[in-house]
Structure 1
Amino acid sequence: LSFTIYLAQVQKRTMERTFLLLAAFIFSSGQCQDTDPSRDPDASLAVCKPDICRLIRDSGVYSAQILELQRLIQEQAQQLQEQAQQLQALQESTSAAVPRVAFTATMSHSLGPAMGQTTVKYGVILSNMGNGYNPATGFFTAPVAGMYYFRYTMFNNLGPTPNSMMSLMRNGMAMVTSLDGEGDDNNDSASNAAVLQLEAGDNVYIELYGSRELFDNAMRFNTFSGFLLFPL
């Protein structure tokens, strides 16, 4: 739209130049009319004829230049339109090729003490773009190979025991771990994060260790989040 406006302005300026050239031609022709009756009109006309011829010749050159300029502008407008269409197609294909993967899930109630290592199932989904996270299993399954970012938080307000200990797992292996050691204080929290290279189908999840517990309620202290940084 902006280029169309620009083209209209160029055409307007071209018409204005043409009008000025025509006005100059008429004015010059008028100047050739000698009002002195004592002078020879044929001599005055002889002087003016070369000027008129030059103006006519120059006007033809200017007209040709204007037409050439208009042709070049139209060609450039067509090229810009084609490039814009190609850019839009490239952007659409790129957006379609890169999946959008991101999620955050939380707990709404306490968990534990666990009898053994237990997968934490975060049942409250705040976002799940790409549906990679499954609240029924607690697993995030990578839809494509790539570099992913994960982060989790844990919360415990039960004092000395049982305390909390949990790990970020990838296909059964602990990647990073958080521990709330025994003490006399309450309301302890911790978090950890990792950037992991995953293959399509890899599972990432959180495990709570045996005899450990997490406290939660409607405030949603415990969270599990992740998103795709870029595909590989």
Structure 2
Amino acid sequence: MSRASMMMMMMPMSVKSVAVLLLAMACCCVCEPQANADCGGPSSSCSSLCLCCLSKDVAMVVEKLKTLESRLEENQRVVGVLRGQPRVAFSAALRDSGGGNVGPFSVATPLKYKRVFSNTGSSYNPSTGVFTAQVKGMYFFRFSMFSNTIGHSNSIVSLMKNGERLTSVWDTTGADGHDMGSNAVVIAMEMGDNAYVELLANRMVFDEYMNYNTFSGFLLFPM
């Protein structure tokens, strides 16, 4: 049994078809003993030279095909994981109509972001302003705040997780009342954990159709 035939028997079916095509071309091979001296020397026969060099070409093609097949399998695995991964993402603005200040309230109050841009997974509740994790995982949250108080700024908001303050944005100094800020976190959440943006007591924020105040989040990956 020739070396080329043995190689074909060991190849996967997806590779064999290409190898058969290349070997079939042997009958049309143009022999150039001097140019192919490294395959068997100038004294080698025409057929042995062609098969020798062609088998090397087949081996190269086989290795390249194996690499491509490996990459394809990995890509298919990643796509499969992504398709099976829970999809959780939301984004909302504070007002769905009108404009003006929200607050002040006598106690710290969750802000209700009523204009929902997206809510894949239905984990955000615009009636309460609270996001409730339905999937255990690592999450990203971002929020923005706008202060438009004339005379003296008076705005403080915080991102809360289960009642615990994580990070804040504030503007309580200066005569100008047109200031804006934002903040973000990446946190682990268990099923049932909640996250929301809280307006501190006796503070206020301003919003209108321009949607300055927003609250967004999404699942980075489940755990």
Which TM-score bucket, shorter chain as reference?
0.5 to 0.7
Whether the 8 Å CA contact 1:159–1:183 is kept in 2: the answer is no
Compute the displacement of 1:155 (Å): 0.9
Compute the displacement of 1:129 (Å): 3.1
Structure with bigger strand share is: 2
Compute the displacement of 1:137 (Å): 1.7
Tell me the equivalent position of 2:222: 231
Unmatched runs of 5 consecutive residues or more in structure 1: 22-57
Instruction: Give the distance between the partners of 2:153 and 2:61, measured in 1 at CA.
Output: 78
Does 2:15 correspond to 1:7?
Answer: no
Instruction: Give the distance between the partners of 1:60 and 1:185, measured in 2 at CA.
Output: 90
Max Rg structure? 1
Instruction: Give the distance between the partners of 1:78 and 1:157, measured in 2 at CA.
Output: 63
Instruction: Give the distance between the partners of 1:212 and 1:90, measured in 2 at CA.
Output: 50
Instruction: Give the distance between the partners of 1:84 and 1:210, measured in 2 at CA.
Output: 56
> Is the alpha carbon distance of 1:150 and 1:81 closer, same or farther for their aligned partners in structure 2, counting shifts above 3 Å?
closer
Instruction: Give the distance between the partners of 1:175 and 1:208, measured in 2 at CA.
Output: 13
Tell me the equivalent position of 1:168: 159
> Is the alpha carbon distance of 1:155 and 1:79 closer, same or farther for their aligned partners in structure 2, counting shifts above 3 Å?
closer
Tell me the equivalent position of 1:93: 80
Instruction: Give the distance between the partners of 1:15 and 1:61, measured in 2 at CA.
Output: 10
Tell me the equivalent position of 1:147: 138
Whether the 8 Å CA contact 1:165–1:209 is kept in 2: the answer is yes
Tell me the equivalent position of 1:177: 168
Compute the displacement of 1:111 (Å): 1.3
TM-score under structure 1 length normalisation: 0.64
Q: Percent same amino acid at aligned positions?
A: 36
Instruction: Give the distance between the partners of 2:206 and 2:143, measured in 1 at CA.
Output: 14
TM-score under structure 2 length normalisation: 0.66
Task: Write the mapping of 1:32-181 to structure 2, written as runs, cut at 5 A.
Answer: 86-87=73-74, 89-108=76-95, 109=99, 110-160=101-151, 163-181=154-172
AA paired with 2:81? T
AA paired with 1:100? R
> Is the alpha carbon distance of 1:92 and 1:149 closer, same or farther for their aligned partners in structure 2, counting shifts above 3 Å?
closer
Structure with bigger helix share is: 1
> Is the alpha carbon distance of 1:79 and 1:191 closer, same or farther for their aligned partners in structure 2, counting shifts above 3 Å?
closer
Instruction: Give the distance between the partners of 1:65 and 1:182, measured in 2 at CA.
Output: 84
Instruction: Give the distance between the partners of 1:159 and 1:231, measured in 2 at CA.
Output: 45
Whether the 8 Å CA contact 2:31–2:46 is kept in 1: the answer is no
AA paired with 1:105? A
AA paired with 1:94? V
Instruction: Give the distance between the partners of 2:198 and 2:92, measured in 1 at CA.
Output: 15
Post-superposition Cα deviations, 1:156-180, rounded to whole Å, max 9, x if no partner, equal 1112457111111101111112222
> Is the alpha carbon distance of 1:9 and 1:203 closer, same or farther for their aligned partners in structure 2, counting shifts above 3 Å?
same
- SS of match in other structure, 2:168: strand
Tell me the equivalent position of 1:36: none
> Is the alpha carbon distance of 1:156 and 1:63 closer, same or farther for their aligned partners in structure 2, counting shifts above 3 Å?
closer
- SS of match in other structure, 2:102: coil
- Alignment size in residue pairs: 193
Whether the 8 Å CA contact 1:162–1:211 is kept in 2: the answer is no
Compute the displacement of 1:86 (Å): 4.5
